[in-house]
Structure 1
Amino acid sequence: MRWIQVRVPSDPEHADLLEDILMEAGADAVTMEDAADQPLYEPDPGSTPLWGSTRVTGLFNADIGIDAIRSLIANAYHQQTQQELGEIEVLLLEDKDWERAWMDDFQPLRFGKRLWIVPSWHDVPDVEAANLMLDPGLAFGTGTHPTTALCLEWLDGQAMEGTQVTDYGCGSGILGLAALLLGAKHVIGVDTDPQALEASRDNARRNSVEDSKLDLYLPGQDPDTQADVLLANILAQPLIGLAGRLAQLVRNGGDIVLSGILSDQAREVMEAYEPWFVMDEPVEREDWVRLTGRRRDR
């Protein structure tokens, strides 16, 4: 089957409308992306920000016809906004197995010496390694972002055998499950999103992790269990606000690992944790940093 890719420039105010128009015009899929290389930093609570210059892209069956698609989109936009739509870019895509091509883009990823993240359709690259089976495309993290990769590499370099671990902001469960595969005895996962907790449980079972080794909670319902290692890959401002609570959850001499922090935010986050932790120098990758520290005696 041949496909047509339609790209429409937008601003944040009209991006959702264009998404609806493309779907109503028969798009099989619609995505939004940055059209001007503008980073998105931390959103306000409850908000879903978009770039100042956003590109809305729809994928259509080529049988519909390029001219018909252009006309449908332009007319629908004008009817609802009384404005003219910007240039509609249309590309005719080659006939190929897009699902297969998408799968081929994702290969097993190695973090450190012992840890691999492996898509379910691949054979494990090293049967003696810690192989975490986790498919790309999950909303909550699969190891490809620098913040997650930095945490996974740190875990790989530690002696995790027999440790109690807390994964605060667990998402897909990737960090806590990696810790278990590397030898941790028990993990507590905490996340504000109930769907993330479901994803963590599903991924644990997919990796044959016993339910008893992973306990999952919403914030405020989690116990005061003190961890040997606490991981929190969230964002800078929530991490600053949680400093006292996270410090309470780490035993004397235990380790804290913080990520989701931009380079220019590192000093402020470190200062928030220094009353309780001896902090190490930041480790940076692609403008993101990982912070680690050891809990002072109470």
Structure 2
Amino acid sequence: MPWLQLIINSSRQSAESIEDALLNSGAVSVTFEDNADQPILEPALGETPLWQQTRITGLFDAGISTERVTHQLTEQLGGQRPDYRWSPLEDRDWEREWMQHYQPIRCGKRLWICPSWLAPPEPSSINMLLDPGLAFGTGTHPTTFLCLQWLDGIELAGKTVTDYGCGSGILAIAALLLGADSANCIDIDHQALLATADNALRNKLAPEKVLTYLPEQAPQVATDLVIANILAGPLVSLAPKLSALTLSGGALCLSGIIDTQADEVMSAYAPWFDFDPPASREQWVRLTAIKR
């Protein structure tokens, strides 16, 4: 089915009213993009921040009258004509197109992340089957990759794991495939817990090895290894809790941190942990430590 895109350059202040006007004019979807290379690295919980210069795209059936839509849009915006352009969107098999760009990822000497529709490049390696889905975490982001790389390089046989902010469950599942005994997977999002359980089954892990919890329901049981790949602000506030969840002599792995935030995060955990030198990838940092 062919489509038309109406692309509008907007300020942050006008973005929501333009979104409403597009939907009222018949757009089947509306997307927002950064229009000035202004990254938003750490929104507060529950926030959906926008860029100061935002590009808004409304998707329309190609059979609509572009003149009618732009007239309706201008009327709804109080007579103010936005900075816009129409553009055709080529009709493709978008699912197949997207799948071609998602390839296996090597995360160390042993571990690969493989989409289910491709054969593992090294069948004898440890291959985690993971498809993009409802929750964050496919191994492509630097923070996830850094954590996976670290897990691949440590001894996990028989260890117990806590994955705090588990998302897709990728880190806990990787730890189990690498030899860990069991994992408590904790997240504030019900969809993340569903995705974690689904991914565990896809990787043929027994349900009793991958236990999922909302934070208020999670058992206060210390484990050999605690992983938290979230954001710097929550990591700082969670320092006492994550310390209590780590056994003495156990390991801690923190990520989701940009390089300028590393010292603040390490300071929050310094009363309990001795840190290794930070590891970095692009502008992101992974912190690992041993509990005293």
What TM-score do the two structures reach when normalised by structure 2? 0.93
Aligned length, in residue pairs: 292
Contact 1:10-1:55 at 8 Å conserved across structures: yes
Q: Distance in 2 between matches of 1:218 and 1:140?
A: 16
Mapping of 1:204-223 within 5 angstroms?
Answer: 204-223=200-219
Indicate which of 59, 66, 70 corresponds to 1:69.
66
Matched position secondary structure for 1:84: coil
Q: Does 1:56 align with 2:53?
A: no
One-letter amino acid matched to 2:52: G
Counterparts in 2 of 1:282 and 1:85: CA distance versus 1, 3 Å: farther
Tell me the CA shift for residue 243 of structure 1.
0.5
Aligned residue number for residue 15 of structure 1: 15
Equivalent-residue separation in structure 2 for 1:280 and 1:107 (angstroms): 31
What CA deviation, in whole Å up to 9, does each residue of 1:127-183 have, x standing for no partner?
A: 222222221253422121111111111111112111101000001111111111111
CA RMSD of aligned residues (A): 1.9
The structure 2 residue matched to 1:99, chosen from 92, 95, 98, is 95
Deviations 1:69-109 (A, max 9, x none): 3541x333333331524321222244432221111111111
Deviates more, 1:32-41 or 1:138-147: 138-147
Q: Equivalent residue of 2:184, what SS?
A: strand
| Range with bigger deviation, 219-228 or 54-63 | 54-63
Q: SS of 2:63's equivalent?
A: helix
Partner of 1:124: 120
Aligned-residue identity in percent = 52
User: Which shows bigger deviation, 149-158 or 136-145?
Assistant: 136-145
SS in 2 for 1:251: strand
1:189 maps onto 2:185 in alignment: yes
User: Relative to structure 1, is the Cα distance of residues 70 and 188 closer, same or farther in structure 2, using a 3 angstrom cutoff?
Assistant: farther
Name the structure 1 match of 2:243: 247
- Tell me if the contact between 1:106 and 1:136 (Cα under 8 Å) persists in the aligned partners: no
Alpha-carbon distance in structure 2 between the residues aligned to 1:149 and 1:9: 34
- CA contact under 8 A between 2:134 and 2:192: conserved in structure 1? no
Superposed CA offset, 1:188-230 (max 9, x none): 0111112211111111112221110011111132112221111
**Pair 1:227 & 2:227 matched:** no
Cα contact 1:70–1:88 (8 A) shared by 2:
no
Contact in 2 for aligned 1:28/1:59 (Cα 8 Å): yes
Q: 2:164 touches 2:226 (CA, 8 Å); kept in 1?
A: yes
* C-alpha deviation, 1:26, in angstroms: 4.3
Structure 1 residue 285: Cα displacement? 1.4
Deviation at 1:20, TM superposition (A): 4.0
Does 1:294 pair with 2:268?
A: no
8 A Cα contact 1:155 1:179, kept in partner: yes
Aligned to 1:41: 41
Partner Cα separation in structure 2 for residue 202 and residue 16 of structure 1: 35
Structure 2 unaligned spans of 5+: none
The separation in 2 between residues aligned to 1:17 and 1:257, in whole angstroms, is 42
Relative to structure 2, which stretch is displaced further, 229-238 or 74-83? 74-83
Cα deviation for residue 44 of structure 1 reads: 2.7
1:35 maps to a residue whose letter is: N
The DSSP-based 3-state class of the residue aligned with 1:88 is: strand
Classify the secondary structure of the residue corresponding to 1:267. Answer: helix
3-state secondary structure, aligned to 1:184: coil
The answer on whether the counterparts of 1:163 and 1:228 sit within 8 Å (CA) in structure 2 is yes
- 2:152 corresponds in structure 1 to 156
2:196 to 187, 196, 200: 200
- Structure 2 CA distance for partners of 1:157 and 1:103, relative to 1, 3 Å: same
Structure 1 alignment gaps of length 5 or more? none
Deviations 1:24-63 (A, max 9, x none): 5444443211111111132233221111111112333433
- For 2:258 and 2:46, the matched residues in 1 are separated by 21
Change (3 A) 1:97 1:155: same
